[in-house]
Structure 1
Amino acid sequence: MNIHKQITSKLALNGSEERTIKFLKQLLLFGYLQAISCIFPAIIFAALAFSSMAGLDIPKYDLLLIICIASQLIMYFLGLETKDEVLVITMFHILGLIMEVHKVYHGSWSYPEEAYTKFWGVPLYSGFMYASVGSYICQAWRNLDLETVKWPKKILAIPIGAAIYLNFITNAFIQDLRVFIIVALLFIFWKTHFLFRLGDRQYKMPAVVSFILIGFFIWLAENIATFFGAWRYAYQHNGWQMVEWHKITSWSLLVIVSIIIVGQLKIFKKEMVEH
């Protein structure tokens, strides 16, 4: 924690500095806060690289599960995650596993390697891929001192979040409704902004822009994950290929569900405290 304070202190603004120096400091501070918010996703990618090259006797998917569980325990006991955040991450893990079982069953992607902790074709570690998104959102919310402006009423936010998640499952049986969902999302979140703090300065970003940006960077991360064999799409079985561009919309929608869950839980907790 002392190192964290030293870094943020060195990147603090000084009134006598030139505008360019101030801009670079704020950019570096933003990048640093984003990086420490990605601790759990970074651990997963490091584990993917290690498990692909180590050549250990233990099945890769089982090793990844052990690393993910150990990482969460360490982060909790070191105070890097709170009890509430661990509960949120567990919720993401369960929702992710349900979706994984469904998608693997319908052939959207597969986990070709054997493992002891693999059920219905899905290794248990895969839920942590979704949990890592939840971990990032929880961490970023705290590290950037995030606030929402014109957050949609729960009568709109909760149903649209549920519709996004259910569409990931029902599109195997009926028409994919994501185009209509995206239109509804733009209508519901068009006026919503996120306020985030860098030192003593506060900035504003449209929610829609943040959804797209996070979805894009997760898509980049997905390319790395499939390269190391975390999972494979049907077109990647004969050799790695870049993940299709349209997956950016899928990840952006998943990010929106995640942010809605975290946002609504924070609102619920605030209302409980006030009452």
Structure 2
Amino acid sequence: MRSFTSVEHRIDERAHRLLDNAPADGIRSKLIEFAVFGLKQAWACIFGAALLAVILAVRLWYPDDAGLARNDFLTLAAVAIQVLMVATRLETSRELRVIVLFHLVGTVMELFKTDVGSWQYEAEGFLRIGAVPLFSGFMYAAVGSYMVRVFRLFDLTFARYPLRRVTAILAAAIYVNFFTHHYTVDARWVLLAAVVVIYGRCVMHFRVFRRRFRMPLIVAFLLVALFIWIAENIATWSGAWLYPSQLNGWHMVSFDKLISWFLLMIISVVLVAWVYKPGPPEEPAEASGETSDAGQSPAVPAVTGDGTPGQSS
């Protein structure tokens, strides 16, 4: 099992004291599983949620005549959120490395996409590279933060996970296509078909509280892409950036962007897979969604006092 941070371990202990005596079956058990699922998802989204909240606050309340440009304020706020995540042990240094990689990969894409006119930012502030404010890279980092956190919070395992070198080649092809489709044939539909072929047999297993559940990995990709698309609509409404069709008035982001976010999920999963190697489910009984014996084994990963991985008893 993967580790919690020391802060999450303390939260987990308190949750167990509250919930261990709850019914193990029936409607109350199902409601508890659902509530814990929602709380874990919210906790995994904490970086992105905080950043989105700041973006909305800037849209609603930031003064037009402030001495500090909006985009510069957003960049400083994003840096502060990231520092707090590490300082309060909500993220480990190991996870920070992959989040920084998300940041770099995203910033390179931003530089290219704004140059070809795919979207644009307000031309203000000093904390930017060309037309790209530096806070934009943190939006990709927020996706990376969610991915690494959800991986350990739900103790993800995978049945029939494809070879990592094959997924790496696919992710590289997807990333390259984000650039080359402006000049050559857009291969996104071919890449989408490749995703279905490569990941189609893979099933994700995850623990919520007492139970393990399973879901086709492609469905998980689609659900995450949908929520990113919803967040993108909020961000563009707030003016964080705009697509060309939104310059004369905001409207919802095209559903076509779901395909882009779906493909981006492959890149995200491959990057995270080099931090947390995808492993198979430990026991067939757990994979079927049967209730684990809470009296014999904890329902969540354990850590030592310093936040390093510990073994469950």
What code does the residue aligned with 2:34 have? L
Larger RCO (alpha carbons 8 Å, 6+ apart): 2
CA deviations on 1:165-211 (whole Å, 9 max, x unpaired) are 11111111111101000111101001111111112311111110000
Match in the other structure for 2:51: 44
The one of 177, 192, 202 equivalent to 2:187 is: 177
The one of 103, 106, 127 equivalent to 1:93 is: 103
Asked if 2 retains the 8 angstrom alpha-carbon contact of 1:211 and 1:255, the reply is yes
The one of 113, 122, 128 equivalent to 1:118 is: 128
Match in the other structure for 1:76: 86
Secondary structure, counterpart of 1:266 in structure 2: coil
Match in the other structure for 1:208: 218
Q: Which runs of 5+ in 1 are unaligned?
A: 269-275
What code does the residue aligned with 1:40 have? F
Match in the other structure for 1:238: 248
Cα distance in structure 1, aligned partners of 2:19 and 2:186: 46
Cα distance in structure 2, aligned partners of 1:222 and 1:229: 11
1:212–1:13 distance in 2 versus 1, CA, 3 Å? farther
1:238–1:246 distance in 2 versus 1, CA, 3 Å? same
Match in the other structure for 1:272: none
Asked if 2 retains the 8 angstrom alpha-carbon contact of 1:13 and 1:22, the reply is no
1:103 aligns with 2:113: yes
Secondary structure, counterpart of 2:269 in structure 1: helix
Q: TM-score, normalised by structure 2?
A: 0.81
Secondary structure, counterpart of 1:109 in structure 2: coil
Shift of 1:113: 3.6
1:54–1:7 distance in 2 versus 1, CA, 3 Å? farther
CA deviations on 1:40-77 (whole Å, 9 max, x unpaired) are 00111111012222213311111111111111111101
Cα distance in structure 2, aligned partners of 1:67 and 1:223: 21
1:139–1:7 distance in 2 versus 1, CA, 3 Å? same
Match in the other structure for 2:158: 148
CA deviations on 1:138-187 (whole Å, 9 max, x unpaired) are 11111111112211112311100111111111111111101000111101
Cα distance in structure 2, aligned partners of 1:50 and 1:9: 37
1:28 aligns with 2:35: yes
Q: Which runs of 5+ in 2 are unaligned?
A: 1-6, 279-313
CA deviations on 1:210-229 (whole Å, 9 max, x unpaired) are 00000011000000000111
What code does the residue aligned with 2:38 have? G
Cα distance in structure 2, aligned partners of 1:13 and 1:193: 31
Alignment root-mean-square deviation, CA = 1.6
What code does the residue aligned with 1:58 have? L
What code does the residue aligned with 1:209 have? V
Match in the other structure for 1:14: 22
Secondary structure, counterpart of 2:277 in structure 1: helix
Cα distance in structure 2, aligned partners of 1:109 and 1:232: 6
Secondary structure, counterpart of 1:226 in structure 2: helix
Identity, % of aligned pairs?
36
Which protein is richer in helix relative to its size?
Answer: 1
Cα distance in structure 2, aligned partners of 1:120 and 1:130: 18
Secondary structure, counterpart of 2:228 in structure 1: helix
Cα distance in structure 1, aligned partners of 2:55 and 2:14: 31
The structure with the larger Rg is 2
| Corresponding residue pairs, total | 267
1:141–1:13 distance in 2 versus 1, CA, 3 Å? farther
What code does the residue aligned with 1:110 have? Q
Shift of 1:239: 1.3
CA deviations on 1:233-273 (whole Å, 9 max, x unpaired) are 001111111000110111111112101110133229xxxxx
Cα distance in structure 2, aligned partners of 1:3 and 1:212: 30
